[in-house]
Chains A and B, each alone.
Chain A
Amino acid sequence: MRLNPWVGITAIATLAFLYLPMLAVAVLSFNKTRYGLQWSGFTWDWYVRLLNNPDILEATRNTFVLALVSTVIATVLGTLFAIALERYPWPRRSQGFLENLLYLPVVTPDIIFAVALVVAFGAFRMVSSLFEPGLFTMILGHVTFQIAFVALTVRSRLKSLGHDLDEAARDLYASYGYFVRHVLLPLLTPGIVAGAMLAFTLSLDDFVISFFTSGPTSQTLPLLIYASVRRGVTPEIHALSTLIFLITVLLVLASERLTRR
């Protein structure tokens, strides 16, 4: 059977549509021209400047601290949640309900989540000054949306393992702890790592939740880019965007490889 050549052409056009803007940004990040789109020669200059800009370095540090801490918390909680959801003998009806609760954060618009967090932190602030907008509230905010992604990834891995191995381990004199350490965790590791990487990327790229929960001292890269772009797009921003895009691509590829195994 011959496939209509338009099918292939459409696919390529779609890919171009998706990636040309990014490619343009990457090309412009090496352009000597400060303003406008004229090509006036290749330079690493903008990248060098990035490294000498204290605001950007500060934002980078914040971004990675936020991403790392929130990912660690979300990975632990998400994994435990997935195991509980999948293995605890829930009554059938509440199992379905819990599953829906798990999916909900994935499809809820970020802005709704962000507003809800603002309201919640506002209420908590009356109890403790810990909830003043800043890195701490951002971490909490990120954890809330990351958990669902980690739990979903780990859960699909758990589902594919089935219950046989649990029973085999019990039959072979293993305590639950021994089973978790020697069977469950080693087999779940690819799922856990993939979930963690996904969570990390999401945190790295997040703008909406960060925007609503950040304080004056907790500028992250997405927030910084947003603020700079309002003043006009500069080649430094192109360079920064290109770097973030590269990191994201690498993380997604790595997580993809791990889940496929």
Chain B
Amino acid sequence: MTTVARPPATGESLSIQNVVKKFGDFTALGGVSLEVPSGEFFTLLGPSGCGKTTLLRIIAGLEVPTEGRVVLLGKDITPLPANQRPVNTVFQSYALFPHLSVWENIAFGLKSRRMDKAEVERRVKYGLEILQLERFKDRLPHQLSGGQRQRVALARALVNEPQVLLLDEPMSALDAKLRAEVQVQLRRLQQQLGLTFILVTHDQDEAMAVSDRIALMRMGHLEQVGTPDEVYERPRTRYAAEFLGAANLIKGLRLPMGFEASFGKLALNRTPPWDEGYVAIRPERVRLSEVEPRQNGLRVRVREAVYRGAYQEVWLETRRARASDELRESLSSSAMASSSLETRRARASDELRESLSSSAMASSSLEPCDIRVRTAPHPTFQAGQELWAELPADALVVLDE
């Protein structure tokens, strides 16, 4: 096991200050500011087109920002071209030089700076070693597998001892199993070297697995920045709640230290800042039981339970609060009629969430909503079963928007 002390935090290694990037009429980045301390594994997470790759390219010097500054270790590097920045990139396509051997590829950034021969030898050897590429040093890129190519790309960047290593979706070309493996290796490598890594990805699992901190991006701005558990446990917006994993979004009206949803009143740890808004709860935080819990209990019926091996996913049908009990009869019968269709859609969880939230958007009245629960695989639940669900106050997150 490697136990390498991380370098002492020397404050902000990289500072992005109010960066704006426009391509013609299109604004790719609308004023982004970020501080990344040295030695941190920082991830830019977001869907395609959110500006994460553009931001990475601006840090690399491959794009020039329309406005704003990039400051590295106190030095403004905004005007420096890519080939003069102490920053290296692992490209999504790896961009290995197809006519050069693995050894030559790794040596490229050293030779281009006319580094002395012995030093080139030493560093390439080191690069081959830490990424276990010694056996392949004479091969050409097309003679390597995807995973090996990715390691060459990493070694080629790392031997330059960059202040910041940029990784542009480096795992998107690998299959799922290898990807999980590489994530662990990448994290280990970063800790071993104590370097600042900035990763771009659209894969939230990957972001959670490797990062010290995550910046969730949306349409050219930062939606939320924080440690993986902060962003996951305390999403600030509906977008953040939905992008990172599954979430139940419950619409409701403000009450002191609580809110009122379609199915009744729930206690919260704080008073919501809005009059009408959303509260989120992760599927795994909902507790199911046969007996009524002390607080925030709901009487629910299982609409559907899907066994997934390691866990089971349960969709619970909630009921309207008592005042409108008569109305419920007609509502639930119409819900039953569409339930087989709904069942099929439920499997594509994203679609379900979308349809739920869009239907919630459509009308301002509080519609009864399904609650999705992730729970232990045993005992298995049956459709139609009635039971209690507890939405603990500390698991309910009040969303700002």
Contact = CB atoms under 8 A, between A and B. Distances in A.
Interface of A: 164-165, 167-175, 178, 182-183, 186-187
B95 A167 contact: yes
Interface string B164-201: 00000000000000000000000000000000000000
Nearest to B159: A172
Contacts of B109: 171-174
Interface in B69-127: 81-84, 87-89, 91, 93, 95-99, 108-109, 112-113
A172 B89 CA distance: 8
Contacts of A171: 60-62, 82-83, 87-89, 109, 157
Contacts of B62: 167, 170-171
Contacts of B99: 183, 186-187
A84 to B, nearest CB: 20
A165 B91 CA distance: 10
A165 B97 contact: yes
A174 to B, nearest CB: 4
Given A171-B60, A171-B83, A164 B95 contact: yes
Nearest to B93: A164
B160 interface: yes
Interface in B114-165: 156-157, 160
Contacts of A167: 62, 82, 89, 91, 95
Contacts of A187: 98-99
A173 B97 contact: no
Contacts of A169: 83, 97, 108, 112
Given A173-B83, A173-B160, A168 B112 contact: no
Classify the secondary structure of B's interface with A: loop
Contacts, number: 62
Nearest to B62: A167
Contacts of B93: 164
B144 to A, nearest CB: 16
Contact of A165 (B87, B95, B112): B95
A173 B113 contact: yes
B91 A168 contact: yes
A160 to B, nearest CB: 11
Contacts of A186: 99
Contacts of A170: 61-62, 81-83
A170 B60 CA distance: 10
Contacts of A164: 91, 93, 95
B98 A172 contact: no
A168 B157 CA distance: 10
30 contacts: A164-B91, A164-B93, A165-B95, A165-B97, A167-B62, A167-B89, A168-B91, A168-B95, A168-B96, A168-B97, A169-B83, A169-B108, A170-B62, A171-B88, A172-B83, A172-B109, A172-B157, A173-B83, A173-B84, A173-B112, A173-B113, A174-B109, A174-B112, A175-B83, A175-B112, A178-B112, A182-B108, A182-B112, A183-B97, A186-B99
B314 to A, nearest CB: 46
Given A164-B95, A168-B91, A174 B108 contact: yes
